[in-house]
């Protein structure tokens, strides 16, 4: 009887997790936890905070290091079909910028991903990225403006710059100067949380 009760508890816990609404984090290395232990990234910290504050969400991190908006667009339909997210946190574009890919194509890819997520019934939170000025001031300005323009046009929740407060602090960045280190990850979560919280339901 005791073994049967334990089995039922495990089944109930598994079912509850399966029924929990999903937050799909869909990004690149900034969200994949590049250079970090699996429990140190801001996405892992987000899952911990949701649990601590008794929000019944399951976080699925579908971020891939090195991903471009074109790669993300190719992957997103399957991710949406597999996870049926209520919220999609979209963090892509940084690798497009670092490769100096055409901004118009990057914007078109982001638009298509936003439209796909919305059509699947998900709310979208857009995380903005900036690139170093050595790519040219005009290109860098046009690049960063994409996120605010899309948030305005599509009426999306927005974090203007995911690495705000960390990017210019050497003690919060990895040696490459691109990715936040473990100490910087709570800063990234602090940037995301105020924009995400209004989308959450208990």
For the annotated catalytic residues, the residue numbers are 29, 176, 179
198's tokens: 């209004």
- Which two three-digit tokens encode residue 12? 């109930």
Distance between CA atoms of residues 49 and 43, nearest Å: 10
DSSP class per residue in 46-78: HHHHHHHTT---EEEE---TT--HHHHHHHHHH
124 torsion bin: left (phi>0), alpha (psi -120 to 50), beta (else): beta
Joined tokens for residue 118: 């919305």
Nearest to 28 by CA among 99, 85, 117, 115: 99
Per-residue tokens: 28: 């690149």
Give the side-chain half-sphere CA count within 13 A for 131.
25
Instruction: Enter the DSSP assignment of 172.
Output: G
- Maximum Cα interatomic distance, the chain, rounded to a whole number of Å: 71
Tokens of 156: 């999306």
């Amino acid at each position: 009887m005791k073994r049967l009760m334990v089995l039922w508890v495990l089944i109930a816990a598994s079912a509850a997790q399966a029924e929990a609404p999903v937050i799909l984090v869909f990004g690149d290395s900034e969200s994949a936890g590049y250079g970090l232990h699996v429990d140190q990234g801001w996405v892992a910290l987000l899952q911990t905070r949701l649990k601590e504050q008794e929000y019944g969400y399951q976080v699925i991190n579908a971020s891939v290091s090195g991903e471009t908006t074109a790669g993300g667009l190719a992957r997103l339909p399957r991710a949406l079909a597999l996870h049926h997210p209520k919220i999609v946190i979209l963090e892509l574009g940084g690798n497009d910028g670092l490769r100096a890919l055409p901004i118009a194509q990057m914007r078109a890819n982001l638009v298509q991903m936003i439209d796909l997520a919305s059509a699947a019934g998900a709310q979208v939170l857009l995380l903005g990225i900036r690139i170093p000025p050595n790519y040219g001031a005009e290109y860098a300005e046009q690049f960063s403006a994409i996120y605010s323009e899309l948030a305005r046009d599509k009426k999306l929740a927005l974090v203007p710059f995911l690495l705000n407060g960390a990017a210019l602090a050497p003690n919060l960045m990895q040696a490459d100067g691109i990715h936040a280190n473990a100490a910087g990850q709570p800063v990234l979560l602090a940037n995301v949380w105020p924009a995400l919280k209004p989308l959450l339901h208990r």
